[in-house]
Amino acid sequence: MLPLGAKAIPTNDNAHKSVSEVSQKRTFLSLSFWCFCLAILIAGIVKLMFQPGEEWGFGSKLMLDDGLLEHPKVNAAFAIHIMPDQEAGTVSIHEGIVSQAMDSYIVDIQGNGGHSSQPHKTIDANMIMNQLYTSLNLLFTREADPSAHVTFSVGAMSGETVTNVIPDKAVLQGNLRSYDQTIRDHLCKRISEMIDHTVKAWRGDYTVTEFHTPTTYNDPTMVKLLTPFIEEIVGKEQVVDLGMLSGSEDFSHISQEVPATFIVLGTGKEGNAPVHNPRMQQ
């Protein structure tokens, strides 16, 4: 097991993914030992949850649907997340909303492909995808309060692979991040409208796959209860409040069901490569 801040950087193409998985497994094994000790001390039951399927924001939701919080019943929940660009050994605890909601959209666009010299005989799926990219990225700039910290990002776009073919199909994948539920509801409605109107305006068809992840909520009573114990472990000067995270976390599904606390453990220093970066340090 590596100490906090130690370097272990994979060099393959899946580095950003494997680093995350290695970190998760290492943290889980460490916590498993301490939770075993805690269960003995409190003469109670500690249920351990491990799921590496968080990136789409619904791994924990699938576990909830399978009865995660039952048999035995769960009364409270606790989670920890490492942050490689936060000072090693510091723990950030924030009351209330602690991470953004994430609403993900995979739009499969169906056009009518053809030769690039005859665009009038086609329905250009690539062009529709690019129009949709622009429209969705402009939407929040005109329909959300600038102070609300809303983002929309397209992470993947794909069409054909040669220059002389207008593609039959294209795929756009993007997600909305937000803290405020009212703004989130409005923009989710408008995103659906924008997809429908943009694709149909250019005579295309489409299907949409959606995933919705709520904000993570730190129960104030739980935070006040746990903070003294965390201070005792890492030192009072190491416990800080760095505010809300700009990312999303599927532990949010659990925090909506039972009193919960989600903390962030620093494992590096400011300026280090962040999570999901292939140069992330563990």
pLDDT tens digit string along 184-216?
999 999 999 999 999 999 999 999 999 999 999
pLDDT band of 17, cuts 50, 70, 90: very low
CA separation for the pair 62, 55 (Å, rounded): 13
pLDDT digits (tens, 9 = 90+) for 126-184: 999 999 999 999 999 999 999 999 999 999 999 988 899 999 999 999 999 999 999 99
Position 1 scores a pLDDT of: 35
Structure tokens at 190: 């408008």
CA separation for the pair 148, 180 (Å, rounded): 7
Does the pLDDT of residue 19 top 80, yes or no? Answer: no
Could you give the angle at which helices 181-201 and 125-143 cross, rounded to 10 degrees?
150
**Closest to 258 measured CA to CA, from 221, 231, 233:** 221
Position 57 scores a pLDDT of: 73
Using CA atoms, how far residue 85 sits from 14, 31, 53, 90, 167, in Å, is: 20, 21, 23, 11, 41
Cβ distance 230 to 91 under 8 Å? Answer: yes
| Residue 254: exposure state from Cβ atoms within 10 A (0-12, 13-18, ≥19) | buried
The better pLDDT of the pair 262, 37 is held by: 262
Position 27 scores a pLDDT of: 59
Instruction: Spell 214-237 as b/e; 16+ CB within 10 A means b.
Output: bbbbbbeebbeebbeebeeeeeee
212 DSSP β-pair partners = 103
Position 143 scores a pLDDT of: 96
- Residue at 158: amino acid letter: S
The CA R_g of the chain, rounded to the nearest whole Å, is 22
Residue 248: alpha-carbon gap to chain centroid: 4
- Whether the ω angle into residue 72 lies within 30 degrees of 0, i.e. cis, is yes
Query: Worst-scoring range by mean pLDDT, 42-46, 91-95, 219-223?
Result: 42-46
Using CA atoms, how far residue 259 sits from 77, 84, 239, in Å, is: 6, 27, 21
The better pLDDT of the pair 225, 51 is held by: 225
pTM: 0.80
105 DSSP β-pair partners = 174, 210
Does the pLDDT of residue 21 top 60, yes or no? Answer: no
- Residue at 152: amino acid letter: F
Position 139 scores a pLDDT of: 96
